[in-house]
Amino acid sequence: MELFAGGGGLAMAVHRAGFRPLLVNELVKYACDTLKANAATPRGEGERIPSPGERWPLVEGDVRRVEFDYLWDRVDLLAGGPPCQPFSLGGVAKGDEDKRNMFPEMFRAIRKIQPKVVMCENVRGLLRPSFKPYFDYIERELRLPFEERDGDTTWREHDEVLRTRLDEEPSDPKRRYEVVVTKVNAADYGVPQIRNRIIIVAFRSDLGVDIKRFEEAVSPRYSEAALIRSMLDGSYWERHLDVPGHVRERVMSRLPDTPPKNDGKLPWRTLRDAIKGLDGQRSLPTVPWDRLDRREYGLGGFTGHIGWPDARIYPGHTPNELDRPAKTVKAGVHGVPGGESVLLTDDLLPEPHEGSPYAYRHRYMTVRETARVMTFPDDWELAGPRGEQMRQLGNAVPVMLGELFARAIASALDEAESKP
């Protein structure tokens, strides 16, 4: 079951890992339109279990009005990214007092369905010193979700109750969960983007999941050191023979003379890798400078690969560089912040811009390029105008990152259930 599904990144990842969606919920209209355009169908009023192969049953609207009882003890994995505005560095930072805090709805769903596993993705802001006590409370509440907090109790009072209960032997191990919190940078998992998040996974205690084995399965496999080594030994440039010499010289001039120690990991993937195509994708065609006009030309047959005018680089907002992972894709309350979606190209400026440290032309990234650094497939159709499409991508979980965790969860369940 998927809550706060947004544009479908995590739902798609979990589905790819072999889980069959029983219910998907989302509130925002354009995100619902995206889900319906690709994989989902409105569930309607009937509460039923879909047959294998059916499209995802979508319940549109406020999660607080969704009933889950009919799924009691039928859900292997409850997944979702509760809205993170209360905790993000870019938000108003009201924490648990913010009405947009949807963690209570995740706990309500757990109490209604008793899933085997819970998976949540959220921002690193949850670990800020000012929020850390509340995050610790969330973690304890996830370990004991059936110890429900009543409306007259503060979270600090409830936290004391949870601390006491956790020191006691559980009367029913199905009502307690083992929690694993993993700090991730998506680039360390093969996503061509710097994206620091936390992923919380909770396994029901009665399953006897090997937590250590799970932690090993979700350990990082890519590194910046390996990317630097690949540039120094030339293997990176062998994949990109069309890079102009002056670009390669600029990139190489910033690298250390001595290669980093071999850590046995794969090189970080870069924005250039994403545009050229990962895992069998076709290369995206270059956006001509005379087509930054908001018009869909169908370049190379790709949708959403549309040039956008008036890109600017502001002080404090450095642009994306092709030979690094992309900067964090952000949703932005008033659109995407300047710089985060600006791309520095390989084309030199005819004349240097006064006061600018960059000798290269720049433009906005297209929606399709942005979808690629979120590891969305090219055939995933995003609904709404450009700003809403970028918002969906900025709020999403990179598909590749979500799929790795979902596959590790599936393996952990399979191993636990195969025990005599």
> For residue range 178-207, what is the model confidence (pLDDT) as tens digits?
999 999 999 999 999 999 999 999 999 999
102 and 23 share one domain = yes
Calculated CA dihedral for residues 34, 40, 41, 46, nearest 10 degrees: -130
Banded model confidence at residue 351, pLDDT cuts 50, 70, 90 = confident
Do residues 103 and 138 touch, judged by C-beta distance below 8 A?
yes
Higher pLDDT, 419 or 143: 143
Give me the mean pLDDT over the 130-155 stretch.
91
214 and 226 share one domain = no
* Distance separating alpha carbons of residues 137 and 126, to the nearest angstrom: 11
For residue 346, pLDDT over 90 is answered with yes
Q: Is 150 part of any domain?
A: yes
Do residues 398 and 12 touch, judged by C-beta distance below 8 A?
no
Check residue 92 and give its pLDDT: 47
For residue 353, pLDDT over 80 is answered with no
Per-range mean pLDDT, top range of 72-76, 328-332, 416-420: 72-76
Banded model confidence at residue 419, pLDDT cuts 50, 70, 90 = confident
Give me the mean pLDDT over the 397-408 stretch.
98
Of 96-110, 277-291, 302-316, 396-410, which gets the smallest average pLDDT?
A: 96-110
Decide if 84 is catalytic: yes
For residue 335, pLDDT over 50 is answered with no
Banded model confidence at residue 323, pLDDT cuts 50, 70, 90 = very high
Which of 203, 231, 264 corresponds to the end of one domain?
Answer: 264
Check residue 93 and give its pLDDT: 45
98: burial class by Cβ within 10 Å (0-12, 13-18, 19+)? middle
Place of tokens 């850390």: 132
Number of domains in the chain: 2
Question: Residue 41 corresponds to which amino acid?
Answer: T
Do residues 58 and 36 touch, judged by C-beta distance below 8 A?
yes
101 and 136 share one domain = yes
Q: Is 78 part of any domain?
A: yes
Q: Is 249 part of any domain?
A: yes
Q: Is 322 part of any domain?
A: no
13 and 65 share one domain = yes
Check residue 364 and give its pLDDT: 94
Tens digit of pLDDT for each residue in 112-125? Answer: 999 999 999 998 98
Average pLDDT along the chain: 92
Which of 203, 237, 264 corresponds to the end of one domain?
Answer: 264
For residue 347, pLDDT over 90 is answered with yes
180 and 40 share one domain = yes
Banded model confidence at residue 154, pLDDT cuts 50, 70, 90 = confident
Q: Is 23 part of any domain?
A: yes
Q: Is 6 part of any domain?
A: yes
Of 80-89, 124-133, 249-258, which gets the smallest average pLDDT?
A: 80-89
Q: Which of 22, 28, 63, 84 is catalytic?
A: 84
Higher pLDDT, 131 or 264: 264
Banded model confidence at residue 334, pLDDT cuts 50, 70, 90 = very low
Check residue 378 and give its pLDDT: 97
14 and 153 share one domain = yes
For residue 338, pLDDT over 70 is answered with no
Question: Which residue, among 326, 327, 289, 328, has the nearest Cα to 309 in the 3D structure?
Answer: 289
Check residue 316 and give its pLDDT: 76
Check residue 125 and give its pLDDT: 85
Domain that holds residue 26: 2-220+397-417
Give me the mean pLDDT over the 379-399 stretch.
95
For residue 383, pLDDT over 80 is answered with yes
Higher pLDDT, 203 or 358: 203
201 and 61 share one domain = yes
67 and 186 share one domain = yes
52 and 185 share one domain = yes
Place of tokens 């998927």: 2
**CATH at 64:** 3.40.50.150
Check residue 56 and give its pLDDT: 96
130 and 241 share one domain = no
Check residue 97 and give its pLDDT: 57
For residue 46, pLDDT over 90 is answered with no
17 and 154 share one domain = yes
Q: Is 105 part of any domain?
A: yes
15: burial class by Cβ within 10 Å (0-12, 13-18, 19+)? buried
Tens digit of pLDDT for each residue in 52-108? Answer: 999 999 999 999 999 999 999 999 999 999 876 555 545 544 555 567 788 899 999
For residue 332, pLDDT over 70 is answered with no
256 and 240 share one domain = yes
Do residues 10 and 405 touch, judged by C-beta distance below 8 A?
no
Q: Is 328 part of any domain?
A: no
Which of 264, 295, 320 corresponds to the end of one domain?
Answer: 264
